[in-house]
Amino acid sequence: MRIWRYIFFVLLLFLVVIIIAIVQLPDGNLHIVACNVGQGDAILVTYGSTQILTDGGPDNKVLDCLGRYMPFWDRKIELAISTHPDSDHSTGLLGVLRNYKVDALLINPIDPGTQIYQLLKNEVGDRGIPVINPVDGTKLRLGLIYLDVVNPTDELFSKLSPGVVGDKLSGYSIGKDTNLYSIVYKLSYKNFSGIFTGDMPPEVSDNIAETWQMGAIEYIKVPHHGSKNGLTQNLLEKIVPSDASDNPPIAVISVGKNSWGFPAPEILDVLRRYNFRVLRTDQMGDVEVVSDGERFWVRGK
């Protein structure tokens, strides 16, 4: 009897594993998950077996998010992006590098000299992770996902003091204004587009509006947790779809409890004025948007 009970238990466990695996199989759609990491940013993009992680939040909560949205057998992230070295965006990347195989890291060569950044450099170096330094015009492709970088610019880098020559993680020294160098990129998947903005300040937002033909955008990650020192009306005018009143585009604000009043009322007002549907991680938890390349919807909402 004991042997049969043991066999039954093993078979039951095997069945449960199979069911979980089937449930976690990719569905052929693009998924964008703004992880609820509190006051910080961490955004996971998945398509099939491809994962792109932009920032890691202020702590290890990002690992819980990855566990919820990546299959348990998939321990590889094809591309990690560190938009800028501020701790509320980069700290969680340490845990990601230690727990997942990262094929490449997209990061600016600006070294603020902080302890967190030093630890991040050590992890990247110890694991031999390939580093890509982007500037505006950089194009990346991962399967059917296209990334077009629109910030930072060579002009911005020319204003910094040189750091370690040839070092892709410490090519320049920076003490402040790290937000100005936020990696901003447009993601395209078939006929669906989104813009991911880090903590870009208003001058970057306006420069993108003036310099780039972004086209209609269905998804925007609102910069700087909804601070008034981020998104500008000039950019919204350029990216709002013509059918926004009938099919509202999505504006996601990654934000937690804070003392700065984020998101700012004026940012919420201007987003609604342009018919964006505003979704916040402090109100909804993880915010998952799904697209088949033609349509898009909020998962579970």
pTM: 0.91
Return d(Cα 139, Cα 197) in angstroms, integer: 16
pLDDT surpasses 60 at 137: yes
What is the percentage of the chain residues whose pLDDT exceeds 90? 85
Query: Which tokens sit at 249?
Result: 């585009």
- 87-131 pLDDT, tens digit per residue, is 999 999 999 999 999 999 999 999 999 999 999 999 999 999 999
| Residue of 16 and 63 predicted with greater confidence | 63
- 211-249 pLDDT, tens digit per residue, is 999 999 999 999 999 999 999 999 999 999 888 788 899
| Residue of 166 and 114 predicted with greater confidence | 114
**Domain boundaries defined on the chain:** 28-298
Sorted by sequence, the CB contacts under 8 Å of residue 167 that are 6+ apart come out as 109
φ and ψ of 221, to 5 deg: -90, 110
Instruction: Determine contact, residues 176/167, Cβ cutoff 8 Å.
Output: no
Q: Whose structure tokens read 């970057």? A: 204
Provide the pLDDT confidence category of residue 7 given band limits of 50, 70 and 90. low
Instruction: Report the pLDDT value the prediction gives residue 12, as an integer from 0 to 100.
Output: 63
Instruction: Report the pLDDT value the prediction gives residue 243, as an integer from 0 to 100.
Output: 82
Provide the pLDDT confidence category of residue 20 given band limits of 50, 70 and 90. low
Handedness of CA 99, 56, 107, 291 (dihedral sign): positive
* Strands across the sheet containing 50-54: 131-132, 105-107, 79-82, 50-54, 43-47, 30-34, 287-291, 296-298
Instruction: Report the pLDDT value the prediction gives residue 13, as an integer from 0 to 100.
Output: 62
Provide the pLDDT confidence category of residue 1 given band limits of 50, 70 and 90. low
Range 28-298 classified under CATH 3.60.15.10: yes
Q: What is the mean pLDDT of the chain?
A: 93
Provide the pLDDT confidence category of residue 17 given band limits of 50, 70 and 90. low
Counted residue by residue, the chain has a size of: 301
Residue type, 123: E
Return d(Cα 48, Cα 26) in angstroms, integer: 5
Q: Whose structure tokens read 């990002």? A: 62
DSSP secondary structure, 229-279, as one string = SS--HHHHHHH--TTTTTS--EEEE---S-SS-SSPHHHHHHHHHTT-EEE
- 193-209 pLDDT, tens digit per residue, is 999 999 999 999 999 99
Instruction: Report the pLDDT value the prediction gives residue 166, as an integer from 0 to 100.
Output: 87
What is the percentage of the chain residues whose pLDDT exceeds 70? 91
- Burial track 158-182 (b if 16+ CB lie within 10 A, e otherwise): eebeebeeeebbbbbebeeebbbbb
Please tell me whether the peptide bond between 263 and the residue prior to it is cis, using omega within 30 degrees of 0: yes
Instruction: Report the pLDDT value the prediction gives residue 85, as an integer from 0 to 100.
Output: 97
